[in-house]
Amino acid sequence: MINRLTKRACVYGPLFAVAIVFAMNAEMAAQGRGGGRGGGAPEPPAAPTPRWPDGKPILGSVPGQPVGGWGAGVTTLPRGQKLEDIPFQPWARAVYDIRQIDQFEPHTRCKASGVSRQFSTPYGTEFVEVPDLKRMYIMDNGGPNSYRIIYLDGRSFPANLPSTNYGYSIGRWEGDTLVVETRGLNEKFWMDTRGTPHTAQLKFIERFTRSDMNTLKYQATIDDPGTYTKPWTTTDFTLRWRPGDELFEYICQQFNQGPELMLGSQDEIDNTRFFVP
Amino acid sequence: MTLMRALLILVVCALATPIAAQEGHPLTGTWYGEYEVGKQKRDLTIIMKWDGKQATGTMNPGPNAVPITSAVLDITPGKPAPEGRDSTEGVPPIFKVRIEAGGQVFEGTLQNPVAGNRRITGTWMRGAERGTFQLRRL
């Protein structure tokens, strides 16, 4: 057996070495043509922020141009900050810590997950603005494949809002920044992929700024006296424009066969509960 | 027959109402289980809600409902996994629970505190009486 392997190594070894050298040369040649990250010309500057006739920034696709979407840009809301600086109530910090270990997120079970969680799906998010209706739809592809409505008509929050996964979102413009406040959120979802906790007392304020054609700055303020001792604000997240990124049919269903993809290293799912949460 | 059907609908509604999972405060929700008195097992239902400062609620809702006078969590912090290691290698926090209602005290441990099927198991006492109890969140 060993002899046979030795013979094969002797026969194929030199051929393999030649193939590696050839491949390396090809790669180096490609980099020399500007195909590599380090040696090429810098990317041309992005086009300026597209605007509607009234001057307001267009946050989604530009009429007359190919449809596109925003790539995932929000990972964990405390990103870039020390966890000690996040004003968790003690129970909330413990819940956050345990969610770093038990990553059984509702989104992986097809549950609609609102606010910033809409900007974490690998398939991107599409903004559909309807100026005539004074509203915008934020559609997250993947997961439950659903949408959130942002009302832009100057309305106030209704009294006795029911609690829902997406809540009730009202937006207003502050210069070139769209400020969206969402209330009426329930506790059936995580706000981000890492399980930053919240309660139904949450008021979630988002700031969207399209600084150029390809860049959307996103920042959120979490005002939830049920979970935090005071409101706190995230650092800026950056979402990148993906031209040609169109919504597609995505079927999310229970009992999928990819738990290792959706739950990281957590390889077992406890299905002993009678009702699936 | 009509009475039976009405009762069935009531039971189904009662079961259906609290099944919605929540991911907020670990005590919030409807808990159902039993506690042992000698060799007997008795039903136990506890509904709790977190108002931001304290958990409040009711034991055995209905005509003989008993208000919860105290429900507290005693948390022992965990330890995250070392840098570069798998997150599951972290040590999870431990959630101890103490609930008082109608002179009865329940002390237990919250298991799977962030999972849908979280449970509380432990012991209860009232004067010299004591026994075990277990609750699972609906």
- DSSP code at position A25: H
Residue A102: which H helix or E strand, with range?
none
pLDDT given for residue A104 in this prediction: 78
In chain A, which ranges are E strands? 68-70, 125-130, 135-140, 147-151, 168-174, 177-183, 203-212, 215-223, 232-233, 237-243
Cβ-contact B105, A124 below 8 angstroms? no
pLDDT given for residue A255 in this prediction: 60
> Which of A105, A171, A178 is CA-nearest to residue A134?
A171
- CB contact under 8 Å between A97 and B93, yes or no, is yes
pLDDT given for residue A29 in this prediction: 37
Nearest CB neighbour to A95, from listed B26, B51, B86: B26
> Which of A138, A150, A171 is CA-nearest to residue A60?
A138
Identify the CATH number of the domain in which residue B104 sits. Answer: 2.40.128
Mean pLDDT by 10 residues, chain A (277 residues): 40 40 38 43 88 97 94 93 96 93 82 94 92 95 88 97 96 98 96 95 98 98 98 97 89 63 51 43
A148 three-state secondary structure:
strand
Q: Among B109, B114, B135, B137, which would you mutate to test the A interface (most chain A Cβ atoms within 10 Å of its Cβ)?
A: B114
Please enumerate residues of B whose Cβ is less than 8 A from a Cβ of A: 19-26, 28, 50-52, 73, 75, 77-78, 80-81, 86-88, 90, 92-93, 95, 112-117, 136, 138
- CB contact under 8 Å between B23 and A190, yes or no, is yes
The one-letter amino acid at A92: A
Q: Is the pLDDT of residue B17 over 50?
A: no
Q: Is the pLDDT of residue B10 over 90?
A: no
Return the higher-pLDDT residue of A252 and B116: A252
Q: Contacts of residue B90 in chain A, CB cutoff 8 Å?
A: 97, 100-101
List the single residue in B with minimal CA-CA distance to A277: B21
> In sequence order, what are the beta bridge partners of B56?
B49
- CB contact under 8 Å between B81 and A94, yes or no, is no
Alpha-helical regions (H) of A104-156: none
Nearest CB neighbour to B114, from listed A102, A199, A225: A102
**ipTM of this complex:** 0.83
pLDDT band at B6 (very low <50, low <70, confident <90, very high): low
Q: Is the pLDDT of residue B115 over 80?
A: no
Contacts of A12 (CB under 8 A, 6+ apart): none
The average pLDDT across B60-78 equals 95
A77 three-state secondary structure:
coil
The average pLDDT across B70-92 equals 88
pLDDT given for residue B71 in this prediction: 97
User: How many domains, chain B?
Assistant: 1
Cβ-contact B116, A277 below 8 angstroms? yes
- CB contact under 8 Å between A201 and B52, yes or no, is yes
Q: Among B12, B15, B23, which would you mutate to test the A interface (most chain A Cβ atoms within 10 Å of its Cβ)?
A: B23
- CA angle, residues A264, A268, A269, in degrees to nearest 5: 100
pLDDT given for residue B96 in this prediction: 97
b/e per residue A160-184 (b: at least 16 CB within 10 A): eeebebbbbbbbeeeeebbbbbbbb
Contacts of B38 (CB under 8 A, 6+ apart): B131
Structural domain boundaries in chain A: 68-248
Nearest CB neighbour to A270, from listed B78, B92, B115: B115
Distance from CA of A113 to the nearest CA of B (A): 12
